[in-house]
Amino acid sequence: MPRPRSLSAVIFLDKNAEYNGALMVIPGSHRSYLRCPGRQTAANWEKSLQSQVYGTPSEEHIRALAESLGIKHCTGHPGDVLLFDSNLLHASSGNRSPFPRRNLFVAFNAWSNRLQAPFYSEEQRPEHVAHRERVQRFQR
C-alpha cells in the first residue's frame, strides 16, 4: 500500500468484553507517526496475530502514547461493527475466559492506493489475505 491510508472494519461475531480479550485501542494514536523498524519475514501474515516481531512500533513509543492518550476496550455484541483508521494502534490479549470472542476483520482501501510490491517484506501476502484486483460495483 503506497500510503498508510485505509479503513478497518471489525464485525463482532460474539460478545466482546474486557474479560474475553476485547480489542484495545489508543484513541487518537492514528494522528501520530511511529516508525516500525525491521523487515517482515516471508509469510509473516501466518503468525502476525499471535506475535509480531517486526513491523510494529517500539514498546517505548507505544507506552508514551498510552500514557498520554489512554487505552480503551472496544466492547460490543454480536452483529456490532467497529470502524477505525487502520493506523490506530490496536491489539488484543489472549482470551482466557470460557466465552468465545470471534471477530471478522476487513480492511478497505481506495483503488487509487491499491497494493503494490511490498516495501518491507520478503514477499507479498497471498490473494485471500490481500486482494489486489479491482472489485466490481454491485449493480441493482
Q: What is the pLDDT of residues 112-131, one digit of tens each?
A: 877 777 666 667 777 666 66
Residues pairing with 106 in the sheet: 9
* Residues 92 and 21: beta-carbon distance below 8 Å: yes
Q: Mean pLDDT over residues 11-19, rounded?
A: 97
* Residues 40 and 55: beta-carbon distance below 8 Å: yes
Give the pLDDT score at 93.
86
Q: What is the pLDDT of residues 31-87, one digit of tens each?
A: 887 766 666 666 655 565 556 665 678 888 889 999 999 999 999 999 999 999 988
Reported confidence tier of residue 99, pLDDT bands at 50, 70, 90: very high
Helix (H) or strand (E) holding 72: strand 72-73
Q: Which 8-state DSSP code applies to residue 16?
A: B
- Exposed / middle / buried, residue 14 (Cβ in 10 Å: 0-12, 13-18, 19+): middle
Nearest alpha-carbon partner for 73 in 108, 26, 28: 26
